[in-house]
Every structure is written in structure tokens, then in C-alpha cells.
Chain A
Amino acid sequence: MTAVLPTRRIEEWKYSDLARALGDTGFGEDSARALVGPIAQGIDVFSLDEPNRPEWVKAQYGKLPANSVSAVSLAKARGGVALRVHKNKHVEAPLALDFAGRGHVRALLVLDEGASLTLVERCDPSETRNAGFEIVLGRNARLDHVRIAPNSSAVQVEEISMTLAHDAQYRAHFANFGAKLSRLELAIALQGEGAGVDLSGVSVLSDSSHADVTTQVTHAVGQTQSLQLFKKVVGGGAQAVYQGKVTVMPNADGSDSRQTAKALLLGPRAEADLKPELEILADDVKCAHGAAVGDLDADSLFYLRARGIPEKNARHLLLHAFLEDAVQGIANVDLREMVRGAVARALDEVTA
């Protein structure tokens, strides 16, 4: 089966020409790997290249809607991992999930009713990869997710498709340092009242890196919440893309959605493309979005310099401050520091 990979001509991929970045080889036929650990008590793990899938895997795997690219990973991946956290189990230590190697890979994460987990995802930057990740959050489940994608010269695509039941909560932070072409796509369905998502992310890009964050949040029922805050610092000849679509279905009254995307361009060859999209089909909702692209605030820059801080340091300080509110929401202290460190190093590089 040959899937046709998206090009610029497809609206959703307008700023990320995947077919061109991949060239003739495409993603290839290999299977990349999904590595997890440590497996605490109350977590079931199953390797997807094994036969005899347990019931809970069969029930959920491949069931969520997929975009054209993750449909390919679904078809071609021969490996991957499925994880399940038991009902009411609260897992203290963060669980690491790393996608590595070249090719396609899948993952499935199910949180049963009342379960909670912190997931740390680190993407191996050395190879071109297409990952498809399905997440199912049961009633009252809670998932904290921190994903760090180091700078890569390969093509890295990941689609996270997710559904939340009553009162389930998803809080995620995505730190993205660019790739030859990188696309993180989130397709989230809020299907139970009281469900909520809080998404934040930072991209710090230099040279000719590219980072595309595309989110699709659907408020299928009322009394649901979504919050998005994405900040980007773009230097060199890099390109940052944000496409955030929020759909509020009819009768999803009482939904509350807020979306903010901001980008700072550091040089004449940098580019930012932002498209925050709102589709509202119910009337009793609170929805707002804002997007801005610009440069550092001149007043702030002057204030710092007038107090003796040299221009370069002042810029660095302000860039740091710009990204800070997207980072400070990370609940786990160690993970927060890890992201802060990665951001600081990337800022050093982009302002060097």
C-alpha cells in the first residue's frame, strides 16, 4: 500500500511540505522502537510486536481517528508499546517513553478510571521517524505529559490522538527544538463533562530548523475546558508554525476555550506562521484566542540597558522571560528544571 504523503497543497500541511522533506525514500519500511521504563506497580505493559494481544489492547488499539500520516504508521508499524495504568492507581515516579530509531512506530496508553501518571517523552533526534500515539483517559484520570524534542537534522512526525472521559485531565508541555521538518499533531476529543486540557509549549529554533505544532481540540460536550499557550523564538532562517483548531460542537454549552500563540523573530530570515482557528457551533460558550508575532518590547529592552545590562544580556533575559510562562506550568519540579535547562541552552545558541 502506497500512501500519498501530504505536500504543501494540502491545507493542513501548507506550511510543512512533508513529501518534499522526506524525498523519495519516505519513511522507509523499518520499524522504529518505543522504549519504556521503569514499570511501576499497577502498570501493564505489552510490546506490540508480540502476538496474542490482551483484551485491553485489542479494545483500544487503532480505534481513534487518525490523520493521513498516522494512518500510515498504523498500517506499517511492526513494533511499539501499549501501556495501561490500573483503576485508581496513582503512579508517583514519572514514566519514560522514548521513541527511537528509524521508521514507523506506535504506542497506546490507557489510563483506567481514577488513574494518574506523569509521562516523560524524549525523542531520539538521530533518525527520521513517524510515530502514532493513542491515549485514552478514563473517568477522572489524570495525565501529566512532558515531551522534549531535541534539535534534529532528520524528519520527525508524531501524531497524538486522544480522548478524555468525564472529569479526565490532561496537562502537557512540549519543548521543541526543531528538525529538518518536525510536526507534532494533537487531536484531542473532550467527550465527558468536566474534562479539561492544558497545553503549553515552547519552540526555540535556529539555523534552518522547522517546527510545526498543530492541535485540534474538540469540545464534544459542554462544561469542558481547553487552554493552550505556545511560545516560539525563531532565529537564523528557521520556521515556526502553529495551527490550533478548536471546535465547539452544538450543545456543548458551557465550554471554555482559550488559545494563545506568540512568536518572536530574531532575524530577517526567520519566519512564523500562526493560524489559531475557532469553530463555534454552540452559543453559550466562552472562547477566545490570540496570536501575535513581533520582536522584543523596545521599552523593556531600554529599561534593562539603562540600568547597565548590556544589550546582548538584556535580549537574552527578555527572551527567557518571554518563554517562562509557558514553562512554569510544568508540575513536576525535576521535569520543569530539565526543560528550563534545555531552553536556556537553546537560547544561548540562537543568540550566539
Chain B
Amino acid sequence: MLEIKNLHVAVDGKEILRGLSLRVDAGEVHAIMGPNGSGKSTLSYALAGRAGYEVTEGSIMYRGEDLGALAPEERAAKGVFLAMQYPVEIPGVTTMMFLKSAINAQRRARGEDELDAVAVLKTVRKKAAALNVSEEMLKRALNVGFSGGEKKRLEILQMALFEPKLAILDETDSGLDIDALRLVAEGVNALRAPERAMLLITHYQRLLDYIVPDRIHVLAKGRIIAEGGKELALELEAKGYEQIIKDAA
């Protein structure tokens, strides 16, 4: 599904990712853990195609296709979904209006029929209920006045609606209390599927208690320096990043 080879990414002329390689197959859930400044967000933005994140070397192959050449909306239409760490507030655009626009834009790009307002509402309502996203939230301007937990739940709702093939969750657990975390994790777990791959980017091991990964990669200074199964998370918890990084050197 996703094959990253020797990826170098620069932001504002400064190199952040320095030869990152990674492979994720369909049906798998991988976790990327790392200390602050290791390049986690840079990786997620580079995968989503954000301007300002320049791939200077290496490649990102998604289902056999080079992602590098595609614009963000093209990647989205092809099934790449990035749940952001800080979902943006857009006053003046209601959540419902946004969801309808996005769903139909993606369908259009894939040559599928667009859904009318009623159909969209039906689908949204059904999936919103499971994530505790209220009607009221859907009527509000996108993310405006939403609490941290509400914003994250809305991100997961979108993931459920767009049905991506590759989902990247960037620090989805940041700012959440236990209850909110549990709800979000349930939502994510419900979306695990044999045709879907997930990349969880996180700083803390806590999230991985709820969403158990198949493989864990440790990212430090722009590179993957250690890999392992889910036990690696406990090792990290016990030793701390500094030690693991030293061990790997």
C-alpha cells in the first residue's frame, strides 16, 4: 500500500527528514513514535502534499503510484486521509456544508455520482451518532468553538465518511482526556479493515493501549532508528526516547 524509500524532506530550506524508509501493507496498523522535533508532523504533511514541504530526495509510492506528483485534493480522492493534530477552524463554513462539498468533490474526481443533500445528511447522521457528534455540531461553523475532543471526533467522523485506503492519524491523542480518547479509539478501531492501512503518529504510548499496532517505528532526527512489535512501545515507556536512541546508535 505505502512504500517510502529514503525520503528527504526540507521545510524552509531546512532538512527535517533525512532518509526515512517505511513500508505499510493493506490491513496493517503501524505506529510512528518519536520525541518532539523528530519530524513526525513533517512526515504526515509530506504524505498529504502540503505546500512548503519539499521532497528533496527519495520517493513515496502509494499503491504503485508516485504520490509526489499529486496535489493534496488528488491524493484525497485516491484515498489518502490525514487526521490533523490541530484541525483548522473555518468561520463562515458550516460543518455540514463542508462535509457535503468534500464528499462530492472526491466522488466527482473518481468519476462517481454525486450525492444529493438528503443522501449526504443520511450518511452523516448515521456515522455521527456512533462518534457522539451532535446535530448541533454539524450546524456550527467548522471546528469553531469546538473543544479538543470534539475536533478530534469530527476528524474521525470524516475518516468514516471518506473511507480512505490510507489513513494517517497525526497525534490524534493530543489534548484528549481518557473518555474522549476511548471514544476516538473505538471509532478508529471500527475502521480497521483488510483493504485499509493506518499510520498512527504519536508521542505517547498511551494511545497504543487502545489501538494496538502491528508494528512500531521510532523516528528520531528525521530517520527511523528502531523498529519492533507492540512490545517496543513498553520498552520506550520504560527507557525513554533518549536511551532508545542511544542504544540504536
Instruction: Compute how far the CA of A314 lies from the CA of B102 in the bound complex, rounded to whole angstroms.
Output: 10
Is A333 an interface residue, CB under 8 A from the partner? no
**Stretch in A152-160, A207-215, A318-326 touching the partner:** A318-326
Contact call A321/B91, Cβ cutoff below 8 A = yes
Interface pick from B81-89, B132-140, B192-200: B81-89
**Complex CA distance for A317 and B91, rounded to whole angstroms:** 11
What's the tally of chain B residues with a CB closer than 8 Å to chain A? 27
Chain A positions within 8 Å of B, measured between CB atoms, are 297-300, 302-311, 313-314, 317-318, 320-325
Q: Are B90 and A321 in contact (CB under 8 A)?
A: yes
Verify B92–A324 contact, CB threshold 8 A.
yes
Report which of A297, A308, A311, A322 forms a contact with B106, defined as CB distance below 8 A: A308
CB distance from A323 to the nearest CB of B (A): 8
Say whether B91 contacts A308, CB under 8 Å.
Answer: no
Report B-chain residues with C-beta under 8 Å of the C-beta of A297.
88
Supply 28 A–B pairs (Cβ within 8 Å), ascending by A: A302-B72, A303-B88, A304-B98, A304-B101, A305-B73, A306-B49, A306-B75, A306-B76, A307-B73, A307-B102, A308-B76, A308-B77, A308-B105, A308-B109, A309-B101, A310-B73, A311-B71, A314-B73, A317-B93, A317-B98, A317-B101, A318-B90, A320-B93, A322-B92, A323-B92, A324-B91, A324-B92, A325-B92
From A320, which residue of chain B is reached at the shortest CB distance? B92
Instruction: Tell whether B162 is near chain A: CB-to-CB under 8 Å.
Output: yes
Minimum CB distance partner of B87 in chain A: A303
Instruction: Determine the chain A residues whose CB is within 8 A of the CB of B77 once the complex forms.
Output: 308
Q: Are A313 and B105 in contact (CB under 8 A)?
A: yes
A305-B71 in contact (CB<8A) = yes
A325 to B75, alpha carbons, bound, how many Å?
A: 32
Cβ of B48 < 8 Å from any Cβ of A? yes
Residues in chain B within 8 A of chain A (CB atoms) = 48-51, 71-73, 75-77, 82, 84, 87-88, 90-93, 98, 101-103, 105-106, 109, 158, 162
Residues of A contacting B: mostly: helix
Are A302 and B50 in contact (CB-based, < 8 A)?
Answer: yes
With contact pairs A307-B158, A310-B105 given, residues A325 and B90 touching in the complex (Cβ less than 8 Å): no
* Choice from B49, B72, B91 contacting A325 with Cβ under 8 Å: B91
Q: How far is the CA of A300 from the CA of B86 in the complex (A)?
A: 11
- A321–B93 touching, CB < 8 Å: yes
With A305-B76, A309-B105 known, 18 other A-B pairs at CB within 8 A are A302-B48, A302-B51, A306-B48, A306-B50, A306-B76, A306-B82, A308-B77, A308-B103, A308-B162, A309-B102, A310-B73, A311-B71, A313-B101, A320-B93, A321-B90, A323-B92, A324-B91, A325-B92
In the assembled complex, how far is the CB of residue A43 from the closest CB belonging to chain B, in whole angstroms?
36
In whole angstroms, what is the CA distance A306 to B71 when docked?
A: 9
